Structure 1
Amino acid sequence: MSYADHLFIKMCQDILDHGVSTEGEKVRPHWEDGASAYTIKNFGVVNRYDLSREFPAITLRRTALKSCMDEILWIWQKKSNNIHELHSHVWDEWADKNGSIGKAYGYQLGVKHQYKEGMMDQVDRVLYDLKHNPYSRRIMTNIYVHQDLHEMALYPCAYSMTFNVTKDPDSEKLVLNAVLNQRSQDILTANNWNVCQYAILLMMFAQVCDMKPGTLLHVIADAHIYDRHIPIVKELIARPTYDAPTVKLNPDVKDFYQFTRDDLIVENYVTGPQVKNIPIAV
């Protein structure tokens, strides 16, 4: 199996076996029929993926990797908060009549801030530091901006990235690592989607900064499985698994702002059947 399968199965089984139920508590999410959406949850789940060994896509079912890249480019490259600039429909339920999700996600990454070196947004600040001061311990982003929360259609779930550069003794190239912090995650619908998104982001940043992709550390404060997802998860983690796919980027792209989803190359991705009609709590 892929290592991502191993971690996913282990994480899900641990939540099923030892998770705390929120049933009967006052919870915000609800199902389409109006019923409260309860969860079983674990606090403080930490998963580590070594991108130098394999790409962290699960094979239990297919993760739409091109769509993952499209959404991460929507947030980090286009710095957009309008779903009309996104090819998928995962954000439709949170958008207003004009397609906006408010001052969330890409909006925050596009806000320019004053630094000693000049005005930059958070993405350009990361790229600047990786190229000019790679051993800095201050290379990070944050989109959980309290003053703007009231103008966000959805509070950011994956809210912070911290980048850290190391060096292998037998290589001239530096290694780019990152920590993804997430306050909350719907494990069935979003876990591998987010892992693959930020793995691709790390790969893109490494390529344009002439580095090698290293470790993606994923920290989830509230890792949960919704009550109506439990039978789906049990069936999913009992499936056969396969080897991880080969995932690469077009090596000719040297500017982060020139990447498109067509620059993602996916080979030998063998998976189980897709899980359809998953109920979504909102």
Structure 2
Amino acid sequence: MKQYLDLCKHVLETGSQKGDRTGTGTLSVFGYQMRYDLQKGFPLMTTKKTAFRLIVSELLWFLKGDTNVRTLVEEKNPIWDEWAFEKWVNSEEYTGPDMTDFGRRAPLDEEFRSKYEVEMAHFKKRLLDDSSFAETYGDLGPVYGKQWRSWHTGSAQSEKQPIDQIAQLIEGLKNNPDSRRHIVTAWNPSEIEDMALPPCHALFQFYVADGKLSCQLYQRSADIFIGVPFNIASYALLVHLIALETGLIPGEFIHTLGDAHIYSNHINQVNEQLTREPRPLPTLRINAEGKSIFDLTTQDIVLENYDPHPKIKAPIAV
């Protein structure tokens, strides 16, 4: 994962100090690209343990067109918990302790963190136990799954049928592999304001040459320490899945970043990671016999020979 470590060094050495939506502050650069040859191993971070199961369940959630965090809670996947929780604690129905700015307060204040953990546990239990509550407070709006599988242009075009971009992508790759239009976009201006979080990985394009399938992602906003390792592995997995569905061989994943940033409260963790030597990449095995990629479960996708350095904890900026 030398490419990723080089990115970390580049931002630490050349990044500009910038404010951000969360109020945390960042070191940031604009415009950066990394390339991963998927024939040389699966690009999951080895300089810190990264939860592959969470990456798998999130990607399958996207591919099924789901936008409700309840599905992820059932899978014990906390990736989107904070955004759904924020919707709940900001609502008029919430009557518990003040959770304002919980993302920054929880790591710094032990007493507050205890309250936050209790409220989050109650929230997740209610999502699982109460379908009506989950429908209201578990739904994240028209985030990735909705845009990938049911793109809609908004009320002005309400008569038009939604577009299943993933189905169109697969059909195009099978029937016209040399096309330059194998594009899926999650950036839908007509629905941005309705999303819990506007898409960070905004647009991707597939490319076929010599029987190999490659993908380039444009990511408008890249949280280098927490988000980017997940994004690399998620899109590498997506290439493997789409290749499987179209009878192609995985080629490259090209990761193009817009605002690439390290949050100010992640700098110590990044420096710790840079002291670690990368280890051999793991390999991927997909048990898909007789199944479409849309029918796969987390148990069907297996990582082998993963031997990372220990996990490094860091707060998420919400």
Structure 1 regions of 5+ residues with no counterpart? 30-35, 168-173
Residue 208 in 1 paired to residue 279 in 2? no
1:21 maps to a residue whose letter is Q
Question: In structure 2, what is the Cα distance between the partners aligned to 1:11 and 1:210?
Answer: 33
- State the distance in 1 between where 2:268 and 2:26 align: 13
Structure 2 regions of 5+ residues with no counterpart? Answer: 89-136, 154-160
Residue 28 of structure 1 is matched in structure 2 by 21
Secondary structure, in 3 states, of the residue corresponding to 2:191? helix
Aligned counterparts of 1:219 and 1:146: Cα–Cα separation in 2: 21
1:1-282 correspondence runs (5 A): 4=1, 6-22=2-18, 25=19, 27-29=20-22, 36-76=23-63, 78-86=64-72, 87=75, 88-95=77-84, 96-97=87-88, 98-111=137-150, 120-167=163-210, 174-276=211-313, 278-282=314-318
CA deviations over 1:18-51 (Å, ceiling 9, x no partner):
11111xx5x311xxxxxx2110011111000010
Displacement of 1:240: 2.9
| Paired letter, 2:79 | V
Out of 248-257 and 231-240, give the one that drifted further: 248-257
Q: Which has the higher strand share?
A: 1
How many residues matched? 258
Deviation string 1:218-277 (CA, Å, 9 cap, x unpaired) is: 00101100111111110111113211112221252551212211111211111111112x
Q: What SS does the aligned partner of 1:52 have? A: helix
Corresponding residue SS for 1:200? helix
**Do the aligned residues in 2 keep the contact of 1:208 with 1:254 (CA within 8 Å)?**
no
Deviation (angstroms), 1:99: 0.3
Q: SS of 1:147's equivalent?
A: coil
Distance of 1:63 and 1:52 partners within structure 2: 20
The Cα RMSD (Å) is: 1.7
Equivalent-residue separation in structure 1 for 2:141 and 2:302 (angstroms): 32
Q: 2:150–2:162: 8 Å Cα contact kept in structure 1?
A: no
For 1:253 and 1:94, locate their aligned partners in 2 and report how far apart those are by CA, in whole Å: 36
What is the percent sequence identity of the aligned residues? 34
TM-score under structure 1 normalisation? 0.87
How far apart in 2 are the matches of 1:106 and 1:251? 21
**TM-score scaled by structure 2?**
0.78
Bigger radius of gyration among the two: 2
Shift of 1:110: 2.4
1:32 is matched with which residue? none
Q: Report the Cα offset of residue 100 of structure 1.
A: 0.8
